[in-house]
Amino acid sequence: MNLKNAKRLLIIRLSSLGDILLTTPLIRAIKKNYPEIIIDFLLKKQYQDALKYNKYISNLYLFQTGKDEEKKSETNLKFNNYDFVIDLQNNLRSRKIIGVLKRPIVKFNKHNFDKFLLVQFKLNKLQSLPQIPVRYTQTISNFSLDDEGLNLYIPEYIKTKLTNDKKYIGFGPGGRHFTKMWPIDYYIQLGNELNRNGFEIVLFGGRSDEQICKQIKDKLPHAINLCNNNDLLQTATDMKKCLAVVCNDSGLMHTACSVRIPVLTFFGSTVKEFGFAPYKNKNLILENNSLTCRPCSHIGRNKCPKKHFKCMMKLSPELAFNKLQELLNDK
C-alpha cells in the first residue's frame, strides 16, 4: 500500500488497551509523513481514552456490540469513502466491518501459526521479528517509524493526586490472566522492602483490579491505593509522578511507557518474541529463561499447566528489588 495519494485513511484496532497504545507510533509516523491525510480510527468504546486526545487523529469512531449499534457504525464509516483501510485487528469482527466498507485494505500479519509452533513445540520462528509497533508499520510498503515511543495525550485539566515531595514507586499488580501476574505476596514483600528504603508505594489498576489492590493495601497500610473505575487518563497522570512502575505484562505496562516512566516488568507464561515488550522506554524485564515450558500461551492462562508456576515463583522479591535499584540508578 502506498499512502502518497491517499486523502482519507481508516485504522481498525478494536482492543485491547496495550494493543491500541502500540498503534500510536504508526499513527504519528503517517501524519508526519503525510500531513494532509485524514486519519480516522475505530476502536471499542471502553478504550477510547487511549486515543481520545491524540492530535494526529481526525475522527475517533467507537465500536459497540449489538446488531443496531454495529449497523450504525458501519453506515457511518461507509459514508466516509476511505482511500485505504488498515486492519490491525485482523479477526472475524474486523473482517465483517471491512466487508461492508468495500475499500482497499491491508491487514496486520498476526503470525498465528508461528505463535502456535512456539507455544506447542518451542520452535521459535518469531525471534527475528521486531516489536509490535514495527510489525504494524510493515502493513505499509517502504514505510518506517521515527525513534520516539508511544503516545498518550492527557488534557491539562486532569491533575495528579500525588505530591512532589515523595519518592513514589508505582505497582500495577493486576492482569487478565493468572500466569501473567507476579504473585501478590511478592508485591507485598517488595513493597515492605521499598518502604524500608524510603519509597512510597502507589497502587494502580482498573475496575477488575480492585480486589488485588485491596489485598495489597491491607498488607501495606502506608500504600496509596489509586485503583479506579478504568480512568486511564487519571492513572497515567498519577504515574508521571512515579520514579518507576513495577508491573506485569499488561496494558498498564504500556500505559507507563506512553508517559515515559521506567518500568520493571515480569514475563511469566509469555515471552518477548510475541512482540509486546516495552517499546522505546527505559525498562528491565524479569523472566525465568531456564524453563523449557515457556511460553505455555501467547495470551496467558488461568493456571499453570505444569502446576509449579516457576516462571513467576523463581522471580523473587529480592531479585526484583535489586533490579529495580539498577533501573533507578541507570542514568
Cα 87 to Cα 19, 90, 97, 144: the distances in Å are: 13, 6, 10, 18
List alpha helices for 138-276, DSSP H. 184-196, 210-219, 232-239, 251-258
Q: Fold identical between 8-137 and 168-329? A: yes
pTM here is: 0.97
249-274 residue pLDDT tens? 999 999 999 999 999 999 999 999 99
Per-residue burial over 257-295, b = 16 or more CB atoms within 10 Å of its CB, e = otherwise = bbbebbbbbbbbbbbbbbbbbbbbbbbbbbbbeebeebb
End-to-end distance of the chain based on CA atoms, in angstroms? 41
Cα 47 to Cα 14, 77, 150: the distances in Å are: 8, 19, 16
The DSSP secondary-structure symbol of 75 reads H
Cα 238 to Cα 54, 55, 124, 219, 242: the distances in Å are: 19, 21, 38, 22, 7
Contacts (Cβ under 8 Å, ≥6 apart) of 165? none
**Hey, what CATH class is 8-137 in?**
alpha beta
**pLDDT attached to residue 331:** 67
Per CATH, the number for 168-329 is 3.40.50.2000
21-51 residue pLDDT tens? 999 999 999 999 999 999 999 999 999 999 9
Sheet holding 8-12, edge to edge: 59-63, 38-44, 8-12, 84-87, 105-107
pLDDT tens by residue, the chain, 331 residues: 678 889 999 999 999 999 999 999 999 999 999 999 999 999 999 999 999 999 999 999 999 888 888 888 888 899 999 999 999 999 999 999 999 999 999 999 999 999 999 999 999 999 999 999 999 999 998 899 999 999 999 999 999 999 999 999 999 999 999 999 999 999 999 999 999 999 999 999 999 999 999 999 999 999 999 999 999 999 999 999 999 999 999 999 999 999 999 999 999 999 999 999 999 999 999 999 999 999 999 999 999 999 999 999 999 999 999 999 999 998 6
- Give me the residue spans of the domains in the chain: 8-137, 168-329
Cell numbers of 119, please?
507455544
H or E, element range at 63: strand 59-63
